[in-house]
Amino acid sequence: MNKKIYFDNAATTKTDEKVLMEMNRVALENYGNASSLHSMGQQALEEMEKARETIGKLLGAKAKEIYFTSGGSESDNFALKGIMNSKNKLITTKIEHPAVLRTAEYLKEKGKNVLFNSVDEKGIIKLDELEKNLDKTDLVSVMHANNEIGSIQPLKEIAELKEKKDFLFHSDMVQTAGKIKINLNKMNLDLASFSGHKFYGPKGTGILYIREGVDLIPLIHGGGQERKKRSGTENIPGIAGIAKALELAEKSREEEMNKQEKMRDKLIKSLSEINKSKLNGHEKLRLANNVNFSFFGVEGESLITLLDFEGIQVSTGSACSSKNLKISHVLEAIGLSHVWAHGSLRISLGKNNSVKEVDFAIKKIPEIVEGLRKISPVKF
């Protein structure tokens, strides 16, 4: 194929043209500072509150429970540090996004009691281990779905544990907004993080849901914007953009996920036929757009580079560095050996992908895997 095939939608998505048009309109028409008392400032404020209302309705939350941030990483940091600043015990999992994992490690270094819950070989949290360690827990943070292997966590079952033990519940929902129906109130969550660029919105935009009554210490101090919880002049075009993106994603969600799931299953079926290949993550409880495979004896970075030469943009879960060849913490947590983990490949589909593109990838991947194995030092 002559054009680039973008199969890395879990990393970021192409901003929707309708989102860009909305952002452009707001930037040109309502460019005032939302903290200003004059009419231009009030128009900007009105634009922001309209976006807040839209997002609240789409996520099953009150508008006043929606707080705007610069992205998923800030939202995760805000949630964990904002709660744990005055608390002691946090439980999270070994496969969280680095925004949660590194923050948890930071809190542990500061003297907090932090436990990293295990997951099974499919990447699903071990609930018995969680329940056993819940005594005196202040905050539990478990992602909705994993960004590498796509496994969807049992948030409902975790939330039900709040009836037995008193703790706050946070979820990084960066990978699921626009893909899975979310109703924050019904899910009994206290905090949830979102990122606009994962659902065809602008980069540098995010949301933190804070359930009414939950008190957080601010991460950023200053002029007291966002009801004194997150200071800094609001990015009104970005806020309008993330609201428009979520609105569009929700409107087409069912149809789009059905389409992507069919392409996903076609990829899984075909890649499973490659000798010494392994699907990473849960077979059924996984995101409709996620395919993650390991190929024994193949070096992941070489696989990604050669696919790139063919115009196919994908990623690897191996995250190797030239210094220490450290494998992905997610693949390590699900029990993959180094030789399997280093040969990993993630394909994350999006709304702009087609069956024709999937068929081209199905043709090229086995050819490249076979070629790399011929020069691999690993014996079969």
Q: What is the CATH number of the domain that holds 95?
A: 3.40.640.10
Residue 323 — pLDDT band, cuts 50, 70, 90? very low
28 found inside a domain: yes
Question: Which residues does 345 contact at the CB level (< 8 Å), separation at least 6?
Answer: 292, 293, 294, 295, 300, 303, 304, 314, 315, 316, 317, 365
pLDDT of 11 above 50: yes
Asked if residue 274 belongs to a domain, the reply is: yes
| 7 inside domain | no
Q: What are phi and psi of 300, to 5 degrees?
A: -55, -45
Q: Using CA atoms, how far apart are residues 175 and 184, in angstroms rounded to an integer?
A: 15
CA separation for the pair 183, 87 (Å, rounded): 27
Structure tokens of 184? Answer: 């924050």
User: Looking at the predicted structure, is the pLDDT value of residue 134 above 60?
Assistant: yes
271 and 351 in a common domain? yes
Would you place residue 30 in the very low, low, confident or very high pLDDT band (cuts 50, 70, 90)?
Answer: very high
Q: Are residues 295 and 197 in the same domain?
A: no
Give me the pLDDT at residue 376, please.
Answer: 80
Q: Examine the domain organization and report whether 178 and 324 are in the same domain.
A: no
Residue 222 sits in the same domain as residue 235: yes
- Is residue 185 over pLDDT 60? yes
> Of 220, 251, 282, which one is at a domain's C-terminal end?
251
Same structural domain for residues 234 and 269? no
Question: Does 246 lie in the same domain as 285?
Answer: no
The answer to whether residue 218 sits within a structural domain is yes
Both 202 and 87 in a single domain?
A: yes
Residue 183's CB: how many other CB atoms inside 10 A?
A: 11
Q: Which of 198, 171, 152 is nearest to 61 (CA)?
A: 171
Last residue of a domain, one of 251, 284, 304: 251
Q: What span, in angstroms and rounded, lies between the C-alpha atoms of 336 and 329?
A: 10
Say how many domains are in the chain.
2
Q: What is the mean pLDDT of the chain?
A: 96
* SS3 label, residue 304: helix
Residue 290's DSSP bridge partners are: 348
Phi, psi of 340 (to 5 degrees): -80, -45
Query: How far are the Cα atoms of 29, 32, 38, 50 from residue 35, in angstroms, in the given order?
Result: 16, 9, 9, 16
Residues 180 and 279 in one domain: no
Structure tokens that stand for 164 in this block: 């037995």
Question: Which member of 27, 161, 274, 320 is catalytic?
Answer: 320
Predicted confidence (pLDDT) per residue in 248-277, tens digit: 999 999 999 999 999 999 999 999 999 999
Question: Does any domain span residue 379?
Answer: no
Q: For strand 66-69 and strand 206-210, is the pairing parallel, antiparallel, or unpaired?
A: antiparallel
**Structure-token pair, residue 368:** 């490249």
Token pair recorded at residue 182: 């979310």
Neighbours of 18 (CB within 10 A): 14
Query: Does one domain contain both 229 and 125?
Result: yes
pLDDT above 60: residue 196 = yes
5 inside domain: no
Q: Give a three-class secondary structure readout of 154-211.
A: CHHHHHHHHHCCCCEEEEECCCCCCCCCCCCCCCCCCEEEEEHHHHCCCCCCEEEEEC
Question: Which helix H or strand E contains 67, and what residues bound it?
Answer: strand 66-69
Point out the domain boundary residue: 236, 251, 266: 251
Residues 95 and 131 occupy one common structural domain: yes
Domain interval for residue 39: 17-251
Q: Is the pTM of this model over 0.75?
A: yes
The answer to whether 320 is a known catalytic residue is yes
pLDDT at residue 317 in the model: 63
- Assigned domain for 219 exists: yes
Chain segment 282-301, per-residue pLDDT in tens: 999 999 999 999 999 999 99
- CATH number for 301: 3.90.1150.10
In 3D, which of 305, 294, 301, 292 has the Cα closest to residue 325? 301
Whether 11 is in a domain gets the answer no
Are 319 and 344 in the same domain? yes
> Do 126 and 272 have their domain in common?
no
